[in-house]
């Protein structure tokens, strides 16, 4: 790159007077992108795309877990409503018992139920008589599915 020395000095003098920067112009036309700029842009784009792909994986896993928890909660509520509807003189409600298997699939020999897209669920219940006071039974329903913590709900039924 060749510069006119007199023009450079003249620009330097003027920039000192006006507080402006000096622009050096070469004989080249600097339009477009260099190869290095293009490679840097592609690298940054790739890093961004990998980050988005990683976030999608995490979001899909979280959605699967949320679906299992939602189904477990619905099953637990359904089991609890069924047990609460039992008659007051039911032997199952008048004795203290723990981890009794609840049959989720009454139409077959299996006690579990499989929900498409969520997994296989099982339920147990426990009863504690005279809790918190005499004439009451505490009922705890526990629903389990692989990959999540069990969902446990508790309710009370008056027996007298």
Domain limits, the chain: 35-158
Query: Cis peptide before 34, with omega less than 30 degrees from 0?
Result: no
Region of 113 on the Ramachandran plot (φ > 0 left; ψ -120 to 50 alpha; else beta): beta
What average pLDDT does the chain have? 87
Strand pairing class (151-158; 113-115): unpaired
- pLDDT on residue 11: 66
Asked whether 68 and 118 are in contact (CB, 8 A), the reply is yes
**% of residues, the chain, pLDDT over 90:** 73
Per-residue pLDDT tens digits for 1-23: 455 666 766 666 666 555 555 45
How far from chain centre, in Å, is Cα 131? 37
Report the distance separating Cα 84 and Cα 158, nearest Å: 9
Distance CA 139, CA 77 (A): 12
**Is the CB of residue 69 less than 8 Å from the CB of residue 151?**
yes
What does pTM read for this prediction?
A: 0.70
């Amino acid at each position: 790159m060749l510069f006119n020395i007199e023009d450079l000095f003249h620009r330097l003098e003027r920039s000192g007077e006006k507080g402006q920067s000096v622009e050096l112009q070469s004989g080249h036309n600097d339009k477009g992108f260099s190869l290095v700029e293009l490679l840097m842009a592609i690298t940054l784009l790739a890093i961004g795309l990998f980050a988005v792909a990683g976030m999608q994986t995490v979001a899909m896993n979280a959605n699967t877990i949320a679906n299992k928890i939602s189904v477990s909660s619905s099953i637990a509520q359904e089991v609890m409503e069924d047990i609460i509807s039992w008659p007051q003189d039911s032997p199952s409600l008048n004795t203290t018992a723990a981890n009794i298997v609840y049959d989720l699939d009454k139409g077959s020999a299996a006690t579990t139920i499989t929900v498409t897209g969520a997994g296989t669920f099982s339920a147990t219940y426990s009863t504690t008589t005279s809790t918190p006071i005499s004439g009451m039974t505490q009922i705890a329903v526990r629903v389990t599915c692989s990959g999540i913590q069990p969902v446990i709900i508790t309710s009370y039924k008056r027996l007298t």
